[in-house]
Amino acid sequence: MELRHLRCFLAVAEELHFARAAERLHIEQSPLSRAIKELEDDMGLKLFARNRRGTQLTPAGRAFQQDVRKLFTSIEQARENAKSVATGRRGILRIAVSDGATEPRLSTWLARCRAEEPEVEVRITEAPLAEQLRGLHEGHFDAGFSRANNAGNGIVAEAVWHDPLLLAVPARHPLLAHGRVPLSEAVRYPVIACHPDVCEGYCRQVSRLLCALADEPELVEHATSLDMMLTLVAAGYGIGFVTAAQMRVCRHPDVVARPIMDREEAILTTYLLRKEGNNSDQLNRFISRLNDLSRVPSIQFQ
């Protein structure tokens, strides 16, 4: 078994079409078919089932695909680590960020990591939650930030930040008569929610908060970014839920923030996710800095 066999297998497994896989690998279809046959002969089993309906992975093929992906991930990481050492660095830490969890404390943490351990390169990737979880399982990411804690088997979620939610309200809105707005009063007005495909964990937390109320609010829009949410709020489409840190980063002249009276329940939690058993010294040092930062009080609304 050689790496070329595994590259051929992975191309066919992902394309499920020999012609497309051959085109992707820039080879003819005959040598590709020959490589797959050599691999199956070497393993003594069938990796693909081929019939008139096309090409499908066998159960053994699906299991083999997962392990081959991990193998190539390890090879790529080994290459990157070698390049990192060659340029004077000692390692790479890959961090995924989902659910709009980019905020000032993340910048503070990154700056401290760079200052205290500059020989370790920290790479940040924004990714939807599903992609982050897949990347954690397959080793593409060492850890990640998300608003979701029910990450599934094999992923550990640790709460690191807790932020009171605020209401983002259009200027000259009736709710501005309240210094602190009762949730039961707020949900009488249309709500602009975040899009669940973009901010899945954020949506889950806000939905749990709203579902506990007697009156279910009307969701009129699903914004794909904080900027879009505030734009729609300013235009009078409805109200939104934000944190003080988010309002500080993304101000809008026609949007006013108000604290929520039910403060104990109206909390947005950010979680650190990592694969169970991933306890490298390098990652633990970075998490220790994160835990120090989590003890700093959250930004409060003035």
pLDDT the model gives residue 302: 47
Reported as a single tens digit per residue, the pLDDT across 99-132 is 877 777 888 888 888 888 888 888 888 888 888 9
Q: What is the pLDDT of residue 299?
A: 47
What is the distance between the alpha carbons of residues 98 and 120, in angstroms, rounded to a whole number?
Answer: 22
Three-state SS sequence of 51-83: ECCEEEECHHHHHHHHHHHHHHHHHHHHHHHHH
Question: Average pLDDT in the 219-235 region?
Answer: 87
Cβ atoms of 58 and 107 within 8 Å: the answer is no
Angle of helix 129-138 relative to helix 200-211, nearest 10 degrees, comes to 120
- Is it true that 81-159+270-294 and 161-268 share their CATH fold? yes
For the chain, the structural domain boundaries read 3-74, 81-159+270-294, 161-268
Which pLDDT does position 167 carry in this prediction?
Answer: 92
The domain 3-74 is placed in CATH, from the list 1.10.10.10, 3.30.830.10, 3.40.640.10, 3.30.300.30, at 1.10.10.10
Of the pLDDT bands very low, low, confident and very high (cuts 50, 70, 90), residue 145 is very high
Q: What is the pLDDT of residue 86?
A: 62
For all residues of the chain together, what is the average pLDDT?
A: 84
Task: Classify domain 81-159+270-294 at the CATH superfamily level.
Answer: Periplasmic binding protein-like II (3.40.190.10)
Lowest mean pLDDT segment, chosen from 69-73, 84-88, 222-226:
84-88
For the domain bounded by 161-268, which CATH number is listed? 3.40.190.10
Q: What is the largest distance, in Å, between two alpha-carbon atoms of the chain?
A: 76
